[in-house]
Amino acid sequence: MAPQTNIPQTMKAWVAFGSGRLRDVLQLKTDWPTPAPPKAGEILVKVSYVAINPGDPKMIAHSIPFRKVAIAGMDFVGEVVQVGQLSPTSATGIRTGMIVAGTVPMTSILRGVGSLAEYLVVPAHIVVEKPNGVEECVAAGLFGIVGQTSIVMLRTANLREGDRVLLNGASGGVGCILTQMLHGIGVHVTGICSSRNMDLVRRLGAEEVVDYTAHDDLYGHLTSLATSTGCRPFDAIFDCVGNDTLYYRSPGYLKIDGKYHSIVHGPLGFIAEFKFNHWPVLLGGIPRTYSSVFSNPSGSSALEVVNWFEKGCIKEVPIDSVFEIDDALKAFEALASQRTVGKIVIRVKQEAREHVA
Ligand SMILES: NC(=O)c1ccc[n+]([C@@H]2O[C@H](COP(=O)([O-])OP(=O)(O)OC[C@H]3O[C@@H](n4cnc5c(N)ncnc54)[C@H](OP(=O)(O)O)[C@@H]3O)[C@@H](O)[C@H]2O)c1
């Protein structure tokens, strides 16, 4: 397909001027310069939808050396409208007209690149072609950070069929995908969520669901689940919420050689790992391994998510809500409530229309 030539000189984009809270620094610009044509190995994407993540505000909150302005957002789906010169050995197969999804890589984020704009330039190797049978608004979430992080967590935990896993935050963006992948490899999942999400988490594949609002002593309840007749402690715990007490009390319900995996610390997770793993038991340390998981977005992780989807292991990606691009601040407020079920998505391309039930 011929490269699109009618690309406007300016575009709509949510731009952060400096660092801080989104509501203080983020502005909707309607005349922001469209990115320069893609260089070798890059593509220009006309964005349809952006899925937002709790990590998005964190990327704007912290000041990054030499970065004065930054476009918000990381996950996206959209149409490839220009392809930079590809090297003869390039095997990405990306061409104009293709609908692709992915996540802006950390190296681009550090330079102020973000997805919450009508056009975006990214390296061609970080995207995947959207498979048939998945709507664009769903693809924005699934093949972005939550899908890719679930892949990294599975790799890190190295589980086997029949293992027992406790998943805290099973109804959130990551939890909804991870529950289905764990179920897909035959792991017995106990999901933690509030009462309103119990049916969803069961439907996604959890054999057992614990309503954290229904127990005065949640940790005592988990201990009884792991020690009562016919039960056994968990082989691994995934924490997608950031509940330190769940870790402190884990000797009651996590096997002695089991691992506690947390995703909430981002790139500085090694500090939490050091703190939790090296404090001797005599001084109050916990005799269980703490592992901090950070997923650096990549095309290969996105491709693995596509494979899981095509194998039929990911059947449902709940879309919590869809906001228009002009209402992005409201979308981020909804995300900050920590009550998101699945994904919050922002429609960037006006003609795009989702058909989510
Ligand atoms: N390390 C990485 O690479 C990486 C990647 C992705 C995400 N993360 C981090 O992982 C965390 C989760 O991300 P996400 O996208 O899944 O978040 P999210 O979608 O915003 O999570 C919202 C969910 O959390 C649940 N929740 C809130 N409080 C809870 C509690 N006390 N106990 C159990 N569940 C609770 C809510 O369920 P109820 O309404 O039922 O309470 C809701 O469904 C964030 O901190 C994010 O920054 C890290």
Q: Give percent of the chain with pLDDT exceeding 70.
A: 96
Tens of pLDDT, residue by residue over 105-131, are 999 999 999 999 999 999 999 999 999
Using alpha carbons only, how large is the chain's radius of gyration in Å?
21
More confident residue, 279 or 318: 318
- Residue 31 pLDDT grade (very low, low, confident, very high; cuts 50, 70, 90): very high
DSSP state letter for 260 = E
Residue 56 belongs to a domain = yes
Ligand 1 neighbourhood includes 344 CB (under 6 angstroms): no
Q: Provide mean pLDDT across the span 27-33.
A: 98
pLDDT exceeds cutoff 70 at 78: yes
- Compute the average pLDDT of residues 174-187: 98
pLDDT band of residue 158 (cuts 50, 70, 90) is: very high
Task: Say yes or no: CB of residue 113 within 6 Å of ligand 1.
Answer: no
Same structural domain, 166 and 114:
no
Mutate to test the pocket of ligand 1, among 219, 240, 343, 345 (most ligand atoms within 8 A of CB): 240
DSSP-assigned states of every residue in 199-228: HHHHHHT-SEEEETTS-TTHHHHHHHHHHS
Q: Whose CA is nearest to atom 27 of ligand 1?
A: 338
Same-domain pairing of 125 and 153: no
pLDDT tens-place string over residues 300-353: 999 999 999 999 999 999 999 999 999 999 999 999 999 999 999 999 998 877
Please indicate, yes or no, whether residues 138 and 174 belong to a single structural domain of this protein: no
* CATH number of the structural domain spanning residue 24: 3.90.180.10
The CATH number of residue 177's host domain is: 3.40.50.720
Most ligand 1 atoms within 8 A of CB, residue of 196, 241, 243 to mutate: 241
- Ligand 1 atom at shortest distance from the alpha carbon of 58: 47
* H-assigned helices in the chain: 22-25, 55-61, 106-109, 136-142, 145-157, 173-184, 198-204, 218-227, 244-248, 269-278, 299-310, 328-336
Among residues 31, 13, 23, 11, which one has the least CA distance to residue 69?
A: 13
For residue 87, what pLDDT is reported?
Answer: 58
Percent of the chain residues past pLDDT 90, beyond the cut:
89
For residue 5, tell me if it sits in a domain. no
Average pLDDT over residues 145-174: 97
Strand pairing of 42-52 and 119-123? antiparallel
**Identity of residue 24:** D
Residue 352 lies in a domain: no
Domain boundary among 274, 292, 310: 292
Pocket test for ligand 1, best of 103, 142, 174 (most atoms within 8 A of CB): 174
Q: Is 52:75 a contact under the CB 8 Å cutoff?
A: yes
Residue 293 Cα to ligand 1 midpoint, Å, equals 14
Please report whether residue 339 resides in a domain. yes
* Domain shared by 123 and 185, yes or no: no
- Containing structural domain, residue 73: 10-144+318-347
Nearest CA to ligand 1 atom 25: 169
Verify that 188 and 274 share a domain, yes or no: yes
Whether 282 has a pLDDT exceeding 80, the answer reads: yes
Q: Do 273 and 157 share a domain, yes or no? A: yes
Q: Which of 99-113, 258-272, 274-288 has the lowest mean pLDDT?
A: 274-288
176 lines ligand 1 (CB under 6 A): no
Say whether both 180 and 138 belong to one domain: no
pLDDT of residue 280: 84
- Asked if residue 218 belongs to a domain, the reply is yes
In short, whether 174's Cβ falls inside 6 Å of ligand 1 is yes
pLDDT tier, 3 (very low <50, low <70, confident <90, very high otherwise): low
Q: Based on the domain organization, do 110 and 182 belong to the same domain?
A: no
Q: Does the beta carbon of 57 sit less than 6 angstroms from any atom of ligand 1?
A: no
Total number of domains constituting the chain:
2
Give the pLDDT confidence score for residue 354 in this predicted structure: 75
For ligand 1, say whether the CB of 54 is within 6 Å of any of its atoms. yes
The answer to whether residues 39 and 67 belong to one domain is: yes
Whether 255 and 338 share a structural domain: no
Helix and strand element counts for the chain (H, E): 12, 16
Pair (31, 118) in one structural domain: yes
Instruction: Specify the 3-state DSSP secondary structure of 340.
Output: coil
